[in-house]
Structure 1
Amino acid sequence: MNKISIIFTSIFLSILCFTSISQAQPTNTQGLDAKQRGIVTIAAFTANGDLEKLKTALNEGLDAGLTVNEIKEVLVQMYAYTGFPRSLNGINTFIAVMEDRERKGIHDELGREANPLPTNKSSLELGTEIQTQLVGAPYKSKITTFAPAIDQFLKSHLFGDIFGRDTLDFQSRELATISALASIGNVNPQLQSHLNVGFNVGLTEAQLRSLVSVLEDKVGKKEADNAAAVLNKVISSRTP
């Protein structure tokens, strides 16, 4: 083999090796689109209170095509899972991000407002319907029997007043909820429940594993490892 042949052979082998590596290592976020990844990170950093990283996540979410009203809806929903302080801090951070983008001449899409809730049923009735749809059956547990008030609040307020708003679909709301629960930690029973709901509303295993990958890339390995373990448990329990 002459010198020119050796050079071309080396180049060919290098290209082949690079191609094989690229094909063997698909992107960690395969399964979630850019807007969905934006929901995951916005919810995560609102939940754990990292406002500097939340600023980045909010900008990335807007750049990915999330509307202003969709992001507002995620931030408002977070109060039901992380408390008013985290939600209010998230909203204040979003106000600052919007003001900064406006100064830079960036005009983001406002998006549509939520349609009015049905007038022919109460929030409790609506919430009971939505909860049953999400869970897959009427929900009853020792907690709701022991403390009926929390059952009423969950049905009427969380599922009726919040989940009943159609600015976000149920898949988006579950991505936000799962991400928030995974990021605050020590709430595995609720994380497991919402991973099940995620499957019930049509999220795929690939999408939920992508969510875990986003957590690992953006939030932390500890949070991602725990979410992966709970997800594996849920998948095992759902496998016939």
Structure 2
Amino acid sequence: MRKKLAAILTGIFISVFSLTTVSQAQTTNNQGLNAKQQGIVTIAAFTAKGDLEKLKTALNEGLDAGLTVNEIKEVLVQMYAYCGFPRSLNGISTFMSVMEERKAKGIKDEIGKEASPLPTNKSRIELGTEIQTSLIGAPASGAIYTFTPAIDAFLKDHLFGDIFGRDNIDFQSREIATISALASMEGVNSQLQSHFKVGFNTDLTEAQMMSLISVLEAKVGKKEADNAKEVLNIVLSNR
């Protein structure tokens, strides 16, 4: 009788432990973006839109959330690859003004790490090809690259080699920034769809993608959020 009772209690313990483990795993998988990642969303979005007043607010909020100065600089630098030099430069100029104002108030923000030198044992195009292949999940191919080989070289050499090869922010942060920027621009849904896929390849979760869209809706605009949700649903339906 005692042995039977012990076996029953053991079974109950195992069941409870299993349910707790599953619940914890589900909680982990359902976590959205953290405060720093949410800061990247709005910084990238308002830089892409050219809304410098709202960008100023987003930059302050990003710093308050724990983003370092160099992390924000890196996001603003990367933006030129997706929304052009003018808006990237305007974003950097706005950030300089924010830093001056915060310094005048006695706020000391963490500078953060500088990017490490690029590897010397391979060319930038070799490095970029490796990074691009890793993020896409296969070697890049398509008629556009055959039609215009120069754009293929620029993407591999410069975007993925020079920019994505810098290590002071990780690939997830870069994709959060890219998705947020593209979601805030019109006429780039094919690229947005591609970067949602790349985002999943960096192990961003569906919950984090939905969190990103929620930030867009709350801080940027319902139109941008609705469009991003439609594009994400296409990606999810094909996974």
Does residue 201 (structure 1) correspond to residue 202 (structure 2)? The answer is yes
C-alpha distance in 1, partners of 2:169/2:190? 24
Residues 175-198 of structure 1, C-alpha deviations (whole Å, 9 max, x = no match)? 000000000121000000000000
Match of 1:130 in 2: 131
C-alpha distance in 1, partners of 2:187/2:227? 10
C-alpha distance in 2, partners of 1:212/1:112? 29
C-alpha distance in 2, partners of 1:30/1:169? 19
C-alpha distance in 1, partners of 2:140/2:48? 26
Q: How does 1:146-157 map to 2 (within 5 A)?
A: 146-157=147-158
Counterpart amino acid of 1:232? N
C-alpha distance in 2, partners of 1:177/1:224? 15
C-alpha distance in 1, partners of 2:111/2:223? 35
Match of 1:231 in 2: 232
Q: How many residues align structurally?
A: 210
Q: How many angstroms does 1:121 deviate by?
A: 0.7
Residues 57-87 of structure 1, C-alpha deviations (whole Å, 9 max, x = no match)? 0000000000000000000000000000000
Which runs of structure 1 show a deviation greater than 4 angstroms over 4 or more consecutive aligned residues? none
Q: How does 1:49-128 map to 2 (within 5 A)?
A: 49-128=50-129
- Under a length normalisation based on structure 2, what TM-score does the superposition of the two structures give? 0.87
C-alpha distance in 1, partners of 2:237/2:145? 26
Match of 1:21 in 2: none
- Under a length normalisation based on structure 1, what TM-score does the superposition of the two structures give? 0.87
Does residue 181 (structure 1) correspond to residue 197 (structure 2)? The answer is no
Q: How many angstroms does 1:30 deviate by?
A: 5.5
Counterpart amino acid of 1:198? G
Counterpart amino acid of 1:97? V
Q: Give ranges in structure 2 of 5+ residues lacking alignment.
A: 1-29
Counterpart amino acid of 2:70? N
Match of 2:17 in 1: none
Distance 1:213 1:30, change over 3 A: farther
Q: Secondary structure at the match of 2:79?
A: helix
Identity of aligned residues (%): 78
C-alpha distance in 2, partners of 1:185/1:90? 19
RMSD between aligned alpha carbons? 0.9
Q: How does 1:211-222 map to 2 (within 5 A)?
A: 211-222=212-223
Q: How does 1:167-178 map to 2 (within 5 A)?
A: 167-178=168-179
Residues 88-116 of structure 1, C-alpha deviations (whole Å, 9 max, x = no match)? 00000000000000000000000010000
Q: How many angstroms does 1:142 deviate by?
A: 1.0
C-alpha distance in 2, partners of 1:177/1:159? 13
Q: Give ranges in structure 1 of 5+ residues lacking alignment.
A: 1-28
C-alpha distance in 1, partners of 2:51/2:69? 20
C-alpha distance in 1, partners of 2:83/2:124? 22
C-alpha distance in 2, partners of 1:185/1:168? 26
Match of 1:5 in 2: none
Residues 111-136 of structure 1, C-alpha deviations (whole Å, 9 max, x = no match)? 01000000011110000000000000
